[in-house]
Chain A
Amino acid sequence: MHKVPLKDGVLDMENGVFIQIKNLKKYFIEEPDLLMKLVAKKKKRVVKAVDDISLDINKGETLGLVGESGCGKTTLGRTIVRLYEPTEGKIIFEGEDITEARGEKLKEYRKKAQIIFQNPYSSLNPRKTVRQILSVPLIASGVKDPHEREERIMYLLNRVGLNYRQMDSYPHEFSGGQRQRIGIARALAMSPEFIVVDEPVSAIDVSIQAQIINLLEELKEELNLTYLFIAHDLSVVYHVSDRVAVMYLGKIVEMGKTEDIFFNPLHPYTKALLSAIPSIDKSKRRERIILEGTVPSPVNPPKGCRFSTRCFMKKGKMCEEVEPELKEVEKGHFVACHLY
């Protein structure tokens, strides 16, 4: 693929900036039909799932993305691999703007950027055998010869720890963990460089979760992959990530090295989130900060800082009126909060 270096010199391949997300927005617009508009005076609703997010992902790293349900983390992941059309902003992959890529160019991008879905029960077609499921990406990436395809499928199944004899089985014949392995094999079929891993273990039994996490880490080492790892389980994110971004209501509130985020959280939301993790080790338990209320609706996010309605460290008027920007307060540690 032809690489176009950026004019303003933002892209610095030597430092390994691999994917750049610039001011990305994804709004879901709910337009009521004419009748409802006239009769019930319903108005257009805009759900701001991802609202102005900028981040870089370096080659070979794992960026963890955490946040509560409805904060837009899955939407962000899906928008990056272009499963959703971004409303605004830019996605730059290896120096190439793929925000509006179409046709062949999009196909090329899809070969390089793949996704592993959260629910291994709904992400596999129940009427297709494993062989059929894994053939689709192989055909799309140009493996036309059936023998070669079969060999690739055998290799893939073997790589994710499944028996190739199960190639002609249907998804229902596998357990949850095994299905997730099929999902991983499907993502690997394209030999991607970048994978969005969307909550890979949240639907899987506890004793199997560690197997899947280890498999993902091994694959990353072996195939030199880059992950965007989305999860709500903070201890899993801590374990796999090099850097972590914390999302709240469509915005990134804090981003930095994993150790910085977990041992020196700056944003009040991150602090509360970390304190809520139940821990096995009694001595490690942090003093619990119990947040009041629930996450406001992304249709009408609060004015000013979006966390101001639940914040226990609110400074006053400013928090309710001025939206804080994501600022670098320590090296590589970004926070969006008026306290800093």
Chain B
Amino acid sequence: MLEIRNLKVVFETDRGVVKAVNGIDLTLERGKILGLVGESGSGKSMTLLSILRLVPYPGKIVEGEILFEGEDLLKKSASQMREIRGKDIAMIFQDPMTTLNPVFPVGEQIRESLRVHNIIKPEKEGILGFLGERDRRKKEYEKAVELMEKVGISYPEKRYFSYPHQFSGGMQQRAIIAIALSCNPKLLLADEPTTALDVTIQAQILDLLRQINEVNGTSIIFVTHDLAVAAEFCDEIAVMYAGQMVEKGPVDKVIGEPKHPYTKGLLKSIPKITRKKEKLYAIPGNVPDLASLSPKGCPFYERCEEAVEECKEVELPLIEVSDGEFVRCIKYL
């Protein structure tokens, strides 16, 4: 249902052109959960924002196609995009505190999205539309309350008029999920939805998202830096590094038998709760600065322990190593 082909996003800054997303290919089937894993600056959030065409200035999409149900989103007009945003494709952002508007009651913000997308149709069209306004408003209110109940906000009638600061972080995130669900989207983009939350609350939110996926059949793209969360929650995982996709495939393959040295390193460097304690493996070096990254060769070259001389030069495609499993590494050429 979603296919991204050779997506490129660049930022033109004083320090030169930064390739935030450098040729990403993705496909997502209906009802599946795809995890995009990477560190800050790896381009995972930019990929998400490009789908909704919300890449902030001075960034722009310079190349590629984003096909959503067969239609290229990059060719849509601004007003067509406004229709799609929130209705067909909804997004949940990382920090719930900054996503909600602090000066409007939470319930009203859920209702706003119902109103904008005309979910409850006015009784009369055109100039007489105001006649059924009171009734329409009531129906929207009821629908918003229903949504709040569905995402697990207790006493929804009372909480409808609460302001965001009266909600805890987990409750705010639930309210945002309610907004995202208000138009029953086909695709849900979740940008680190649990990073700002505690573990027990994270478990609640992941549980809620999984229910939504199972009950409504909503596809989800889940961006996270936490491999363990991705391993538990997603059907497929794509690992990103410095604007490129280095490995993608079904969860069991990527987590169980990682191929790319970066994925291997990441998995090894996570402390595990096992009886034997060993010294942690640490990937050497630092996260690369995209502005000063060499345009040629593998971006992971400097930190890679398995690197060979050719890695500096070769431009690699994603190589299919087994059914549905892709790696961008010279060893599998």
Contacts and interface: CB of A to CB of B under 8 A. Distances in A.
B279 A214 contact: yes
Interface of B: 39-40, 154, 168-171, 198-204, 206-207, 225-229, 231-233, 255, 262, 265-267, 269-275, 277, 279-284, 286-287, 303
B287 A208 contact: yes
A276 B287 contact: no
Contacts of B279: 214, 217
Contacts of A278: 202, 206, 226, 228-229, 231-233
A295 B169 CA distance: 11
A207 interface: yes
Which of A217, A232, A235, A280 has the largest count of B CB atoms less than 10 A from its CB? A280
Contacts of B273: 234-235, 238, 262, 277, 279, 284
B149 to A, nearest CB: 15
Contacts of B271: 210, 213, 235-236, 238-239
A273 interface: yes
Counting chain A residues whose Cβ lies within 8 A of the other chain, the interface size class is 35 or more
Interface in A267-285: 272-273, 275-281, 284-285
Contacts of A68: 198-201
Contacts of A279: 228, 231-232, 273
A206 B262 CA distance: 11
Interface string A287-330: 01011011100000000000000000000000000000000000
Contacts of B206: 278
7 contacts: A178-B286, A207-B303, A210-B281, A236-B271, A279-B232, A280-B231, A294-B168
Contact of B267 (A209, A232, A280, A293): A280
A210 B280 CA distance: 6
Nearest to A258: B277
B270 A294 contact: no
Contacts of A262: 273
A86 interface: no
Which of B199, B227, B270 has the largest count of A CB atoms less than 10 A from its CB? B199
Contact of A207 (B39, B154, B272, B277): B39
A211 interface: yes
Given A68-B199, A290-B204, 16 more contacts: A177-B287, A205-B39, A207-B39, A207-B262, A207-B283, A210-B271, A211-B282, A214-B279, A273-B200, A275-B203, A278-B206, A278-B232, A279-B232, A280-B272, A294-B170, A295-B168
Contact of B227 (A69, A280, A293): A280
Contacts of A205: 39-40, 225, 287
Main secondary structure of the interface of A (DSSP, over half): helix
Task: Please list the 4 inter-chain residue pairs (A to B) with the smallest Cβ-Cβ separation, ordered nearest first.
Answer: A239-B271, A210-B269, A210-B282, A68-B198
A208 B41 CA distance: 14
A259 interface: yes
A184 to B, nearest CB: 15
A293 B231 CA distance: 25
Interface of A: 68-69, 175, 177-178, 205-211, 213-214, 217, 232, 234-236, 238-239, 259, 262-263, 272-273, 275-281, 284-285, 288, 290-291, 293-295
B202 A276 contact: yes
A235 B270 contact: yes
A285 B232 contact: yes
A162 to B, nearest CB: 11
A276 B225 contact: no
A239 B277 contact: yes
A290 B203 contact: yes
A204 to B, nearest CB: 9
B83 to A, nearest CB: 36
A235 B226 CA distance: 12
B199 A207 contact: no
Nearest to B256: A282
A291 to B, nearest CB: 5
A207 B265 contact: yes
A276 B286 contact: no
B77 to A, nearest CB: 38
B59 to A, nearest CB: 21
A181 to B, nearest CB: 11
Given A205-B40, A277-B273, A175 B286 contact: yes
Nearest to A296: B168
